[in-house]
Chain A
Amino acid sequence: MSSRPPVNDWATDFDHTDPRWMNDPFPIWDGLRTRCPIAHTERFQGAYFPSRYQDVRDISYDTEHFSSRRVIVRDEKLDPPIPSPPITSDPPEHRPARMPLLPPFNPKAVERLKPGTQALCARLIDAFIASGRCDAATDYAQHIPTRVIAHMLGVPEADGELFRHWIKLALEEGIHDMSKALQAVGEMTVYFRDQIAKRASQHGDDLISYMLALRHDGKPIPEDKLLGTLRLILIAGIDTTWSAIGASLWHLATHDEDRRRLVADPSLMDTAVEEFLRAYAPVTMAREVVKEVEINGCPMKPGHMVLLSFPAANRDPEMFPDADKVILDRQENRHAAFGLGIHRCIGSNLARMELRTALEEWLKRIPEFRLEDPAGVRWSEGTVRGPRQMPMLFAPEVRT
């Protein structure tokens, strides 16, 4: 935001919403890793930023000193925080909230969604391929997770615009203006109450019906928890995957050698998808320090937040040789794009399937493409990083 004081020193005054950080965070993180591996800021009512893989990992595993009750670093803390179980749950509540959500997202369940996702990608490409250009972020990437998650939840695909409006309020504007985050929660609550009411008379084969049918000790999930989880599934599954698809296409548009290599040898897709997830991991989470603790020599004070940057961990050269290079056939890749420990992204199988399918279908039809104007790419604000505008041109010979 333009009204915010400029950052003079990333180690003592970082601001992850600063345009320099949003557009190109990697040199900033590299600098911090060598100079001050755990940065701090008085902004956001106090927050830490660990830039090394090992520190991110230690914090992810330490649920005693670090709570998930707040997972977004905002200018102000909302008290009490808004629960979206299980992402905002700590042990022992975490496990019972998480377990029932796992089967609908297991590899087999996700594989069944692949043919529909392929057809969806093909339809999206049909709409723009003849023109030789598109906005790969708004005409392609954004629609894929939006429609897949709408299908899973059993809500109208046409409501996608509404979902993106809530995400922008909750995860971008809501960082600096709490009223926007609360507005999103309120609107989503009304939306899902209506969806729940619709299922009172007719249960469907969808995720909302599945959750309504769940019983714990013979009782259904209380409404506030159910609504929190539905908000989470909607928000967590859309701009994250949209970002991963967009950033991967951005890489291929700007790296001719990688693009041609992947087109020529589709068997590289397994490792390439993991490498894109490592190098362009979209999601940064957060924790709240709840007990005094020292991480890598840095004392951490209760009440301060920790920006838990899986993207920064994934660029740590101590963990990944040539961390700043995208190596399509990287063989050893313990990246943390989907988090580490008990909060591993529930949708990771789904996100991988969508990313892979989106790239396969695109490269099949559009093997040659480039950015229309590198300066025309707009990256998101907030804690999910990816291109939100990305005008792309295709070579004339592939316009069919």
Chain B
Amino acid sequence: MSERNMMKVRVEAERCQGHNRCCSIAPELFEIDDYGYARASGDGSVPPALEEKARLAMKNCPEHAVRLTRQD
């Protein structure tokens, strides 16, 4: 898959309340700071094999803080 239509994930810091749902569903894609708040690992690129997990992380966030985009 080309760089252009790669899925990207990010966490809106002002919405995240530290429920930790994203990181428990997709530990490959998220990391948690000392206070329990989440952020995307690395630059947020989602390998194709992890797209379904990224979607689940988004759909299980109680605060709607996880966002998915596609670069195209």
| A residues in contact (CB < 8 Å) with B | 99, 102-103, 105-108, 270, 274, 331-336, 338, 340-342, 344, 348-349
Contact = CB atoms under 8 A, between A and B. Distances in A.
Interface of B: 17-20, 23-25, 32, 34-36, 56, 59-64
Contacts of A342: 17
B34 A103 contact: yes
A382 B54 CA distance: 39
A270 B24 contact: yes
Contacts of A106: 32, 34-36
Nearest to A61: B63
Nearest to A330: B60
A344 B17 contact: yes
A340 B63 contact: yes
A287 to B, nearest CB: 17
Contacts of A331: 56, 59
B19 A344 contact: yes
A334 B60 contact: yes
A338 B61 CA distance: 12
Contacts of A336: 62
9 contacts: A102-B18, A107-B20, A107-B24, A107-B36, A342-B17, A344-B19, A344-B63, A348-B19, A349-B20
Nearest to A335: B62
Most buried by B among A274, A335, A344: A344
Given A332-B56, A341-B17, A349-B20, A103 B63 contact: no
A253 to B, nearest CB: 27
B62 A340 contact: yes
A55 to B, nearest CB: 15
Contacts of B34: 102-103, 106
A99 B35 contact: yes
User: Which are the 8 A-B pairs with shortest beta-carbon distances?
Assistant: A344-B17, A102-B35, A332-B59, A106-B36, A103-B34, A334-B62, A102-B36, A107-B20
